[in-house]
Amino acid sequence: MVANQYLILMEPAYELADEEAQARMKKHGYITELYKTAVELGYDIVEYSLYEMCANPLNPTVF
């Protein structure tokens, strides 16, 4: 079992990134539709928002 009730993912958000960050993410093989895929698989998304502290603006992180 991975998680009993909740799983917290902090991942770069392709959908919320600007064009420069999206290009970088595609170049490096980042996932591009994590939120959409989770919803399509039937997962309940409790929160999907940008994390204020981000070390690299080309990796806008969501949780």
pLDDT of the chain along its 63 residues, tens only? 678 888 888 888 898 899 999 999 999 999 899 899 999 999 999 988 888 887 788 888 888
| 8 Å CB contact between 51 and 61 | yes
CA dihedral 28, 43, 3, 34 (to 10 degrees): 0
CA distance 45 to 30: 20
Q: pTM of the full predicted structure?
A: 0.72
Residues in the chain, overall count: 63
